[in-house]
Chains A and B, each alone.
Chain A
Amino acid sequence: KNQVEQSPQSLIILEGKNCTLQCNYTVSPFSNLRWYKQDTGRGPVSLTIMTFSENTKSNGRYTATLDADTKQSSLHITASQLSDSASYICVVSANGGSYIPTFGRGTSLIVHP
């Protein structure tokens, strides 16, 4: 069964600090992994998308890594800002004709001033 596990479930950090969110998956055969940011009451917004051959990708202060061998990904947020407070969702898609992605439950990040 395809699964995506995210940790921690929630995280509170001070403004300006860095943090790292984790995503482990069992989706196979692997196609791509996406990180989304979802503000409360809004639709998720794509941060990064990574394929099998990519092991790091940055989008501003967000840097995603992918280890396809261990089936792990991380999202590193540098110099956090109050506006980073949101849910971060890891989504993994499989190859083979199915477009249905597997969603993680998300990590709720709160940045305090």
Chain B
Amino acid sequence: GAVVSQHPSRVICKSGTSVKIECRSLDFQATTMFWYRQFPKKSLMLMATSNEGSKATYEQGVEKDKFLINHASLTLSTLTVTSAHPEDSSFYICSATAGSGNTIYFGEGSWLTVV
């Protein structure tokens, strides 16, 4: 069964609004969570890495004020897309690991459509 749960799986929002995506590790403590973005037929693009209790580390070119990441507990990380624009429409995936050398488990992904 799934060990990383992502919610919602699909969301449609209006331009200018904010939308939150949750990523939960179900049966292990995720010391590190990753957020990715994936455009159709393209590879995963790492957006940011978050460690529980500390600020996320964003990849170059990713706006930290637009993509707010919170990793408040060892089982939950959230990605908030603020002031969404149609070009933010994409497939967002999270992954979680208990630490170096451990398997990285992926969530099922969230389809975001901004209209």
- Do A42 and B103 touch across chains, with their CB atoms under 8 A apart? no
* Given A103-B46, A108-B41, also A44-B111 (CB < 8 A): no
A91 to B104, CA, bound (A): 10
- Do B106 and A36 touch across chains, with their CB atoms under 8 A apart? yes
- Do B49 and A99 touch across chains, with their CB atoms under 8 A apart? yes
A32 to B108, CA, bound (A): 23
* Given A103-B43, A105-B43, also A41-B103 (CB < 8 A): no
Q: Which of A32, A43, A101 has the most CB of B within 10 A?
A: A43
Q: Give every chain A residue within 8 A of B95 (Cβ-Cβ).
A: 43-44
Considering only CB atoms and an 8 Å cut-off, how many residues of chain B contact the other chain? 25
Q: Shortest Cβ distance from A31 into chain B, in angstroms?
A: 6
- Do B106 and A45 touch across chains, with their CB atoms under 8 A apart? yes
Considering only CB atoms and an 8 Å cut-off, how many residues of chain A contact the other chain? 27
- Do B46 and A42 touch across chains, with their CB atoms under 8 A apart? no
Question: Is B99 in the interface zone, CB < 8 Å from A?
Answer: yes
Q: Give every chain B residue within 8 A of A105 (Cβ-Cβ).
A: 43
Question: Is A34 in the interface zone, CB < 8 Å from B?
Answer: yes
- Do A100 and B108 touch across chains, with their CB atoms under 8 A apart? no
A34 to B106, CA, bound (A): 13
- Do B93 and A43 touch across chains, with their CB atoms under 8 A apart? yes
Q: Give every chain A residue within 8 A of B32 (Cβ-Cβ).
A: 99
A101 to B106, CA, bound (A): 13
Q: Shortest Cβ distance from B93 into chain A, in angstroms?
A: 5
A28 to B95, CA, bound (A): 22
- Do B49 and A89 touch across chains, with their CB atoms under 8 A apart? no
Of all chain A residues, the one with the shortest Cβ separation from B107 is A43
Question: Is B78 in the interface zone, CB < 8 Å from A?
Answer: no
Q: Shortest Cβ distance from B28 into chain A, in angstroms?
A: 14
- Do A43 and B6 touch across chains, with their CB atoms under 8 A apart? yes
- Do A42 and B109 touch across chains, with their CB atoms under 8 A apart? yes
Q: Which of A31, A95, A97, A99 has the most CB of B within 10 A?
A: A99
Instruction: Report the 10 A-B pairs with minimum CB-CB distance, sorted nearest first.
Output: A43-B106, A105-B43, A43-B108, A44-B106, A99-B32, A43-B109, A106-B43, A99-B100, A43-B107, A43-B93
